[in-house]
Amino acid sequence: MNDTTVIQEADALVVGGGLHGTSSALHLARRGAKVIVLEADYVARHSSGVNAGGVRTLGRPLPEIPLALMSREIWHGMTDLLGEDGGFVPSGQLKIAETDDELQACRERVALLESHGFTHEKVIDRDTVLELEPALARHVTGGIWVERDGYALPFRTTTAFRLAAQRLGARFLEGTAVHRIEQRGTRWLAFTPRGTFGAEKLLVTAGAWSGDLAKQVGEPVPVHPEGLMLMVTHRVAPFCHATLGATGRPLSFKQFDNGTVVIGGKLIGLADLSSRHGEVDFARLVRSARTVTDLFPHLRNLGVNRAWAGVEAFTEDELPVISASRKASNLYYSFGYCGSGFQLGPGCGKLVSELMLDGTPSISLDAFGIDRFERGAASSSSAASSASAAHLVTQ
């Protein structure tokens, strides 16, 4: 494993074949870079392939909004980029308020966004909510609506990015875990049980496992795994068009064309990094099922078909790390998407490719620097505190 005989060379090595790895690989390859993606399991095995598919700019922390809006434009043009749309449906996203206080919080959130020049979230009243979603319980008081949001199919999207990158020459090696990274001279080496890979630049997109690689270069990051849960119901006649969230309690909810309903909303189960596995906590799922039946009483007797948990990376301030290393040259990170990184994947891959090839991305990534944790709680979190002020319940 420490053999420095390089078996394959590239311009850039990407460690991790989730959506952020595949998207970065595609955007790098589009710029002419020779890319190798090293994936421990198989592409889209973890969060990127098993998430709720929410393509949501709604409810984002302030620093993420420019990235999310840029990414959303890529979602709307996905077929041009990939030759297919990843199952993207621009259903709109609706965050429901269930009390007057919650509606007031929605108004304050939207006013705050407007004071920063963001106009994509709109407050809507109860009648408009019920016009959009007539099956909702009558106690709703209003909400926030974003028309250009929607949902997509996670495994299909991540695979589509992989295939598009491959068509441009990127190589994907699955079952190839990087155990160690090391810079020798101007070259990065990635040591795997299948041999050693070399490149001038190295990108870590290893999701919840990224902290270990950052630590190897003396750059520890407070990132931890959580097992995020989802459940999918049996088929039911169409009753819900938009992708829904709630303001006062965690919820993410959508009905697919085939009639099944996917229910989630940052529901925390169990995660084990060493066994690379997430586990469902049924007691917590029950609470979420109750939120759904409060909002859609007619679903009370609907059966659950399947439940699962994916391993996701969370940071202390609930913002991702999208950054050049501060300790080593030509080393880059993109991880820690805290349950909301699917929507960001297409755009962040582009920004990361700009960071790696040009040095300066077209949208500032200053809020996502890896050194923000070192700079201490006080400063690290001017971004984070405005982020949480602007958060209602995200997802």
Site for ligand FAD, rule CB under 6 A: 15-21, 38-41, 45-48, 50-54, 56, 177-178, 205-207, 209, 228, 230, 252, 264, 310, 312, 335, 337, 339-343
Q: Is 229 helix (H, G, I), strand (E, B) or coil?
A: strand
What residues form DSSP beta bridges with 221?
Answer: none
Shortest Cβ 176–ligand FAD spacing (Å):
6
Residue nearest to ligand FAD (CB): 18
| Long-range Cβ contacts of 31-34 (<8 Å, 24+ apart) | 31/353, 31/357, 33/353, 33/356, 33/357, 34/10, 34/169
89: DSSP letter: B
Choose between 54 and 103: whose C-beta lies nearer to ligand FAD. Answer: 54
Choose between 253 and 373: whose C-beta lies nearer to ligand FAD. Answer: 253
What residues form DSSP beta bridges with 323?
Answer: 333
159-172 in b/e form (b: 16+ CB < 10 A) is: bbbbbbbbebebbb
Euclidean distance between CA atoms 250 and 264, whole angstroms = 8
Choose between 19 and 246: whose C-beta lies nearer to ligand FAD. Answer: 19
Residue of 55, 77, 44 lying closest to 158 (CA atoms): 44
The two three-digit tokens of residue 25, written as one number: 């690989």
Shortest Cβ 101–ligand FAD spacing (Å):
26
Shortest Cβ 226–ligand FAD spacing (Å):
8
Q: CB–CB of 196/6 below 8 Å?
A: yes
Choose between 132 and 311: whose C-beta lies nearer to ligand FAD. Answer: 311
What residues form DSSP beta bridges with 226?
Answer: 312
Shortest Cβ 16–ligand FAD spacing (Å):
3
114-131 in b/e form (b: 16+ CB < 10 A) is: eeeebebbebbebeebbe
Choose between 18 and 141: whose C-beta lies nearer to ligand FAD. Answer: 18
Q: Where are the alpha helices (DSSP H) in 304-376?
A: 341-358
Q: Which residues, in sequence order, are CB contacts of 184 under 8 Å at separation 6+?
A: 4
Shortest Cβ 174–ligand FAD spacing (Å):
9
Shortest Cβ 47–ligand FAD spacing (Å):
4
Shortest Cβ 364–ligand FAD spacing (Å):
20
Pairing of strands 35-38, 171-173: parallel
Choose between 36 and 103: whose C-beta lies nearer to ligand FAD. Answer: 36
Q: CB–CB of 178/8 below 8 Å?
A: no
Choose between 67 and 103: whose C-beta lies nearer to ligand FAD. Answer: 67
Q: CB–CB of 321/223 below 8 Å?
A: yes
Choose between 141 and 278: whose C-beta lies nearer to ligand FAD. Answer: 278
Choose between 145 and 337: whose C-beta lies nearer to ligand FAD. Answer: 337
The angle subtended at Cα 74 by Cα 211 and Cα 203, nearest 5°, is 25
Shortest Cβ 233–ligand FAD spacing (Å):
15
Residues of the chain by 3-state class (helix, strand, coil), percent to 5? 35, 30, 35
Q: CB–CB of 38/232 below 8 Å?
A: no
Shortest Cβ 22–ligand FAD spacing (Å):
8
Element (H, E) at 42: none
Shortest Cβ 138–ligand FAD spacing (Å):
27
Choose between 103 and 202: whose C-beta lies nearer to ligand FAD. Answer: 202
